[in-house]
Structure 1
Amino acid sequence: MNPLKIGMISFAHGHAFSYLNSLLSIPEVEIIGIADPKRGRVADVISKHGIAYYDDYRSLLEQSMDAVVICSENVFHAELTIAAANKGIHVLCEKPLGVGADEMNAMIEACNNNNVQLMTAFPCRYLPAVIQAKQAVERGEIGDIVAIKGTNRGTAPSGWFVDPKLSGGGALLDHTVHVMDLMCWITGSEPEEVYAYAATLFDEKLDVDDAGMIHVKFENGTFGVVDTSWSRRAPFPTWGDVTLEIIGTSGVISVDSLGQVNELYSQEAGTGQWNYWGDNMDLYLVKAFVQAIKQGDQVPISGEDGMRSAAVALAGYQSIETGQPVRLRV
């Protein structure tokens, strides 16, 4: 069987390194090349693995390939996705899918028009605790869902993540989308109304928000709230968390998505550390993408899924400006 030929565009987002390692572990995948305008970001991996390098993504897209993984700065997702689609290349795009409704619609339309698939990178769907919680909900173990409380707290990033011209927003955009996707997936319902708060509380030098709470009402009547803050300080033993508390009419499910850790204490490190030993969610995400493309199946996390969650975050910023709830177009 011929290998699936995949290229990668930009290693601006650190997830690209994990996705590359995952792709390299899959026998039926061939990495065609890596494109990144900053060679220094990829110098080590192209040297280590003997991968072709392109400083312009257009040159990479001229190569014969089946799919591409995009991990650029957020504001370039639309340009890169549309360019790949117009070449007949399937796309796995890092979250958030885009920074505006019009561009996300254009991404989805370009892929549909060219008969290629667009998958949004939401690896949290492949966390064991999340999967088990969804299965328990589907079995009716907690009755009907009334509300969900979630967190995606992390350590403040740097570089382009805190440059609104490249990121499109701060913590509210960065950390809403993962948990909101899980909420939509678990409830099976669409978000219809958003109310949010965001501010710069932890580092006043930032040009973006680093603290936020976003409240959502779903079509089926479920209420959700997510703490999206970059509130983990340097001494904290891990970079962040993804948690859910799913409240039903007959019970509650508490999810600590990244709770499979060993506690490590060493004088060298100077502080306690949590070393995650659980399943590699990025590997399962990439495997699902590869399998869908090779078999001609629908990708499990669509562009529409990515747009839905990003739209909630963008509506959150609108709510902050007006001080009022914002209804989503459904």
Structure 2
Amino acid sequence: MRVGIISFAHVHAPAYAVALHQIPGAVLGGIWDDVPERGQQAATQYETTFFADRELLLASVDTVIVASENRGHREHVLAAAAAGVPVLCEKPLATTLADAQAMIQACEAAGVALGTAFPVRYSAAVQSLRTAVQSGLLGETLMIRATNRGTYPGGWFGDPELAGGGALMDHTVHVADLLRWIWQREFTQVYAEAATRHHEIAVDDCGLLLITLDGGLIASLDPSWSRPVNAFPTWGDVTMEVTGTGGAANLDVFAQNVEFFGNARGRTEWRGWGDNLDRLLLEDWLGAIRENAPPPISGWDGLRAAELALAAYRSAATHLPVALPLS
């Protein structure tokens, strides 16, 4: 199956290219980028073809991954839908609800699959927690404390026009998806605070969300870019502390790592040895396309996660709780 990548703007794009070379039956069929030099460099590095015309790439592949700046997601997904090509879109699905809805509607009208890239679902630790919660092992869940703290990615992530927001936009959505998927509940309210404390940038780099789900379940989330870029041994974390009437559980998605001490980097480095979440995500996506099955993580899943981030921004601006859904 030939897979194209639209844009190497996102930091996750290289991991997708590497994973495609590892998956039996998958071929990285080409790259298009609105910055030709970046696209050509990636095509050379990952041994594929650079397409100067996005429509020619779409005509030559079976499915495509959109890994552009957040603002470009709508344009590229609509182009894929018009070409009849199933499309897996990087998170957040969109920076506005109107864009997310337009993307879903275009793909539904064209009869093509739209998926959202939430690889953290594929962590064995996450799936173990989901089994524990849904089997009743922990009893009734009372409270969840979650984090998705990271280092500031730099570049366009600090541009509010291209990114649609800062840390809250970038890091709320992963945990939002896990909350919906593990507990099978929807969000009903969010109260949030956001600020810029760690970096001199035009977007928020820290915040805290207090989230209410169906049935009154409460979760807190720290999605901050608060890890020191030049000192922290990895990019960040995804953690959950779950308290239930019958027990408790602590989740650390990236705890499987080897600690390296080397002169080349000048600091300690953690290198993960556990699940390759990007490969597992792509294997599941390609399997669904091959079997003409619904996408494992849908456009609607992406919309609901992005909606929580957008509601958090409204709350942070007014210092009041915001009811969900917005749409």
When normalised by structure 1's length, the TM-score is 0.95
Q: 1:37 aligns with which of 34, 37, 42?
A: 34
Structure 2 CA distance for aligned equivalents of residues 193 and 110 of structure 1: 29
- Amino acid aligned to 2:91: K
Give yes or no for the alignment of 1:276 onto 2:268: no
Q: Is 1:79 aligned with 2:75?
A: yes
Match of 1:162 in 2: 158
Aligned residue type for 2:65: V
Q: Which runs of 5+ in 2 are unaligned?
A: none
**Conserved? CA contact 1:214–1:226, under 8 Å:** yes
Residue pairs, 1:6-155, within 5 angstroms: 6-61=3-58, 63-155=59-151
Q: Which residue of 2 aligns with 1:208?
A: 203
> How far off is 1:323 after superposition?
1.4
- 2:311 is the alignment partner of 1:312: no
Aligned position for 2:222: 227
Q: Distance in 1 between matches of 2:143 and 2:53?
A: 46
Q: Secondary structure at the match of 2:5?
A: strand
Secondary structure in 2 matching 1:59: helix
Asked if 2 retains the 8 angstrom alpha-carbon contact of 1:148 and 1:183, the reply is: no
Moved more, 153-162 or 261-270: 261-270
Distance in 1 of aligned mates of 2:172 and 2:213: 15
With 35-44 and 254-263 compared, the bigger mean Cα shift is at: 35-44
Alignment check: 8 A CA contact 1:176 1:228 kept: yes
Of 171-180 and 257-266, the range deviating more from structure 2: 257-266
Deviates further, 288-297 or 45-54: 45-54
Taking the aligned partners of 2:53 and 2:41, their CA distance within structure 1 comes to 18
Q: CA deviation at 1:157?
A: 1.6
- Deviation digits for residues 261-283 of structure 1, max 9, x if unmatched? 11222344332221211110000
CA contact (8 A) 2:8 2:42 kept: no
Question: 3-state SS of the aligned residue for 2:293?
Answer: coil
Which residue of structure 2 lines up, in the alignment, with residue 298 of structure 1? 294
Question: Are the structure 2 counterparts of residues 49 and 255 from structure 1 closer, same or farther at C-alpha, using a change threshold of 3 Å?
Answer: closer
Aligned-pair CA distance for 1:138: 1.8
Distance change in 2, residues 1:8/1:268 (3 Å): closer
Distance 2:252 2:137 in 1: 18
CA–CA distance in structure 1, aligned partners of residues 57 and 232 of structure 2: 40
Structure 2 Cα separation of the partners of residues 90 and 65 of structure 1: 10
CA separation in 2, counterparts of 1:135 and 1:33? 38
Aligned length in residues: 325
**In the alignment, residue 193 of structure 2 is paired with which amino acid?**
Y
**Whole-angstrom distance in 2 between the partners of 1:267 and 1:37:** 37
1:218 aligns with 2:231: no
- State how far apart, in whole Å, the 1-side matches of 2:106 and 2:40 are: 32
Residues 31, 263 of structure 1: alpha-carbon distance in 2 compared, 3 angstrom cutoff: closer
Alignment of 1:240-255 (within 5 A): 240-255=236-251
Give the letter for the 2:132 counterpart.
Answer: A
**C-alpha displacement of 1:326:** 0.6
Q: Secondary structure at the match of 1:220?
A: helix
Q: 1:191 Cα deviation (Å)?
A: 0.4
Q: Deviations over 1:173-216 (max 9, x none)?
A: 1000001111111110000111110000111x200000011111
TM-fit CA distance, 1:117: 0.6
**Structure 2 Cα separation of the partners of residues 50 and 187 of structure 1:** 41
- Spell out, residue by residue over 1:216-235, the C-alpha distance to the aligned partner (whole angstroms, 9 max, x if none): 10012111111011000021
Note the C-alpha offset of 1:49. 4.5
Which residue identity is paired with 2:160?
A: P
In the alignment, structure 1 residue 286 sits paired with structure 2 residue 292: no
Q: Tell me if structure 1 keeps the 8 A contact 2:23–2:279.
A: no
In 2, the alpha carbon distance for the partners of 1:258 and 1:278 equals 8
Q: Give TM-score, length-normalised by structure 2.
A: 0.96
* C-alpha contact 1:144 1:248 (8 A) present in aligned 2: yes
Matched, 1:189 2:211: no
Aligned residue type for 1:213 = L
Between 88-97 and 319-328, the greater mean CA deviation after superposition: 319-328
Task: Indicate the percent of aligned positions where both proteins have the same amino acid.
Answer: 44
Q: Deviations over 1:40-88 (max 9, x none)?
A: 3233442244422123423322x24321100000001011101111111
